Amino acid sequence: LVKTGKKNNYKVFENSIQEQEERKFLIQNSIESSLSNGDFFLVYQPRIDVKTGITSTFEPLLRWRHPSLGLICPDEFIPLAEETGDIVLIGEWVLNESLQTLKHLHLIGNTDIRVSVNVSVKQLYQSTIDQSIKTMLQRYKLPPQALELELTESILISDEQRILDILKNLKSLGVQLSIDDFGTGNSSITYLKKLNMDVIKIDRSFVTGVPKAKENAAITSAMINLIHDLGMKVVCEGIETEEELQYIIDKGSDEIQGFYVSYPLVKKDLFQYLQREAINGPKIQYQSKN
């Protein structure tokens, strides 16, 4: 607590910490009931293949319509769910829901589309994750290649052998692995290659403002080259402007994602988006200079 000198200010600050604790308590104690009451839902963000200009993959992003707190974002509740262990239940729900949506799309003829699901560290270290993914893929009769798992650099906190074993088990299922928010942690690209990653998603903080933001432009361009030289695929996330898009396409990013192409969409709107795309053709038609 910080003493401000004024008695009132002191009290306000004290209350707000208490309020934060209450909010945390409320959130952590309503996850399970919200899961069974259907208060969680997914929005889906299209990811575009630069070569074809159309959606290759979609990323489910979790939302929670809390009964008393209203809409809560994953950056707030995922860490809290990791603390309680509820992330495992949430993660299973997300995977099941995502694969169901993917199956639905395959059934209506969109058979090339894939899904890329965020997996948190705690969820990854849960010993049965590979078995549960295998079971779900079989349930929906989906090819494992159609599923990508997005991990963050924070997976590297555990001992090396443990993480290698877990990733090997997942790879042997046939699923793809990607590193999300690349550049915000402190792993090296060469190490990620050793970990058998297929895709590196460059964090949006490096893409912001390119090419005018000169440092970002240099970093992004160098990252793309190195990732390619190591044989992995590059996705740039958080593209918001035409300038950013043009730059990272010129630099050879394989795929792109961001508000410039599409905001995350509720399921109905994703289907409509894909339907329009199939009729109207690619939304993006930039020729790379390379």
Q: State the binding string over 134-173 for ligand C2E (x if CB under 6 A, else -).
A: ----------------x-----------------------
- Name which of 30 and 92 has its Cβ closer to Mg ion: 92
Residues from 211 through 240 that contact ligand C2E (CB under 6 A): 238-240
With tokens 């159609």, the residue in question is: 146
Q: Give the nearest distance from C-beta 74 to Mg ion in angstroms.
A: 9
Q: Which helix (H) or strand (E) holds 228?
A: helix 214-229
The CA R_g of the chain, rounded to the nearest whole Å, is 21
Q: Give the nearest distance from C-beta 218 to ligand C2E in angstroms.
A: 21
DSSP string, 58-73: EEEEEEEEETTTEEE-
- Out of 118, 176, 187, 220, point to the residue binding Mg ion (CB under 5 A): 118
Name the phi and psi angles at 4, rounded to 5: -95, -10
Distance CA 245, CA 234 (A): 14
159, interface contact from Mg ion, ligand C2E, none, CB < 5-8 Å by kind: none
- Name which of 13 and 198 has its Cβ closer to ligand C2E: 198
63: its two tokens:
């939302």
Q: Give the nearest distance from C-beta 45 to Mg ion in angstroms.
A: 9
Query: Is residue 183 involved in binding ligand C2E (CB under 6 A)?
Result: no
With tokens 């909010």, the residue in question is: 23
- Are 122 and 82 in contact by the 8 Å Cβ rule? The answer is yes
195, interface contact from ligand C2E, Mg ion, none, CB < 5-8 Å by kind: none
Query: Is residue 120 involved in binding ligand C2E (CB under 6 A)?
Result: yes
Name the phi and psi angles at 280, rounded to 5: -90, -15
